[in-house]
Structures are given as structure tokens and as C-alpha cells.
Amino acid sequence: MLEIKNLHARIAEDEAEILRGIDLTVNPGEVHAVMGPNGSGKSTLSYILAGKEDYEITEGEILFNGENMLDMEPDERAAAGMFLAFQYPIEIPGVATMEFLKTALNAQRKARGEDPLSIPDFMKTVKAKAADLNISMDMLKRPLNVGFSGGEKKRSEILQMSLLEPKLCVLDETDSGLDIDALRIVSEGVNKLRSPERAMVVITHYQRLLDHIVPDVVHVLSRGKIVKTGDKALALELEKNGYADYVDAAA
């Protein structure tokens, strides 16, 4: 589903490469965790997948279902079924969360060749999914993410994801700032979306998220390269020993 081949990238006007040859293949049904020290390039990778403009790809390619993703605009990527939950979700003043969700969902349905949902059907769907994530209807009337607490922003991203039913979900530190109950709620939301057709890339610092969302594959990113790949046991080992054994490998 997602094939990243020898990806090198830097900030447009900067010489130094942030990503220095990433190879990553994610098949349908798989959940991959990406871990790694601060500044290793995890968020950069997610921004590049999202199509953020600030980066220059100096080498390599990204294929999404066999198509060259780097040629696709951000909205085309979304229409093709890719979803990103950012480490720092953006605030959109002036757009009620509910309105945003409806527009996003109907755009997605259109891209899939489906009719838009009627307002009552949309309300029913959103109510049920919001209740699962412990999100109040009052919160959905507020402008998107404006004044939401850290944990509320993360939950609203998972609500978006569960409505859109994307093919590929990339979650950047969805666990940061979540209280213990919210961590469980968000993880359940993510787990509900696991399916043989859908793939996920979960960026996280902590094993505790992976207790809830059990990954098939775990990667360690260090200085812009994947320096180690393993199964869920790798995350446990990192929790115990830290990154010391792997960071030198990327020098």
C-alpha cells in the first residue's frame, strides 16, 4: 500500500538532509510503529507524506497503491484514502468542528463515488462515533481545535479518522498529552479501525501506546534513517534500554 524507497529530504533552503535514505513498505492490514529519539525525523516523514511544501525531496520515491505520491497534491492524497493525524493539530477559527467534519466526510464520499450523507444521517453517525471517543456535542459546535485541550485535539483527530475511514492512517504522537483514560479511549478508536484492507503507521515515543495498539512491525528511526526493524518485542527492549544501541548505527 505504501512504499517508501530510499527517501532523502531536506528543508528547501537548507543544505543538511533530515531524511537520509528511508526505506519502508507497509502492506494492507499492517500496523507499523515508528519510534526514535527527538529530532530523528519522524514528524518530517509524516509532513512529507501529507504533502507539506517546506521540504525538498532530493532522492527516492513514495508510492501509494502503486502511484507516485510525490506527484499528488495534499487533497488528492486525502481523496486517495490517506489520513494524517499531526503531532500538533492546527486550529481553524471560524469553522465549526461539526461543519468541518461534514465537509471532509462528504468530500471523501465523493472521491469514493458515493452520495453525500443527508444531515440526519450525518448527525447520527457523528453522534455515535463522538460518544465512543467521549467527545461532547458541545465540543463539536466549537471552532475546529480552537481552545481544545491537548487531549481533546487528539480525540477530535481520531473522530475525523473514524468518520473518513481512510486506507492509510499515519498518527504522529497521538498519545502525547493524553490522560490514562483518554489513551485507552483513543487506542480503542484506532483499534476499531484496524482491518485487513487498512494500514497504519503509528509514530510514538512510548511502549504504553503499543500495549493498546499492538504493532506488527516496529522501526527505529535515528538521524533520518531506519536503523532497526523488529516486531513488538523491539519496543519493549527500547523501553528498557533506550536508543543507545541503535543511534550510533546511523552516524
Ligand X SMILES: Nc1ncnc2c1ncn2[C@@H]1O[C@H](COP(=O)(O)OP(=O)(O)OP(=O)(O)O)[C@@H](O)[C@H]1O
Residues that bind ligand X (CB under 6 A): 11, 14, 18, 36, 38-44, 54, 87
40 binds, among ligand X, Mg ion, none (CB under 5 to 8 A by kind): ligand X
Please give the size of the binding site for Mg ion, defined by CB under 5 A. Answer: 3
118 binds, among Mg ion, ligand X, none (CB under 5 to 8 A by kind): none
How far apart CA 58 and CA 60 sit, in angstroms, is: 7
DSSP letter string, 165-185: --SEEEEESTTTT--HHHHHH
The residue (of 87 and 106) whose beta carbon lies closer to ligand X is 87
What one-character DSSP code corresponds to residue 72?
S
**How do 82-85 and 168-172 pair as beta strands?**
parallel
How far apart CA 160 and CA 101 sit, in angstroms, is: 6
The residue (of 16 and 119) whose beta carbon lies closer to ligand X is 16
Would you state the cell numbers that stand for residue 101, as one nine-digit string? 467534519
207 binds, among Mg ion, ligand X, none (CB under 5 to 8 A by kind): none
Inter-CA distances, 125 with 53, 102, 105, 128, 169, Å: 34, 10, 11, 5, 20
Among 40, 43, 204, 222, indicate the residue that binds Mg ion (CB under 5 A): 43
The residue (of 126 and 243) whose beta carbon lies closer to ligand X is 243
11 binds, among ligand X, Mg ion, none (CB under 5 to 8 A by kind): ligand X
Q: Is residue 162 a contact point for Mg ion (CB under 5 A)?
A: no
How far apart CA 211 and CA 178 sit, in angstroms, is: 15
Of 212, 209, 191, which Cα lies nearest the Cα of 200? 191
Q: How far is the CB of 176 from ligand X (least distance, A)?
A: 9
Q: Is residue 222 a contact point for Mg ion (CB under 5 A)?
A: no
Identify the bridge partners of residue 62 per DSSP, sorted by sequence position.
4
Q: How far is the CB of 165 from Mg ion (least distance, A)?
A: 25
How far apart CA 16 and CA 39 sit, in angstroms, is: 13
The residue (of 42 and 153) whose beta carbon lies closer to ligand X is 42
The residue (of 34 and 126) whose beta carbon lies closer to ligand X is 34
125 binds, among Mg ion, ligand X, none (CB under 5 to 8 A by kind): none
Residues that bind Mg ion (CB under 5 A): 42-43, 87
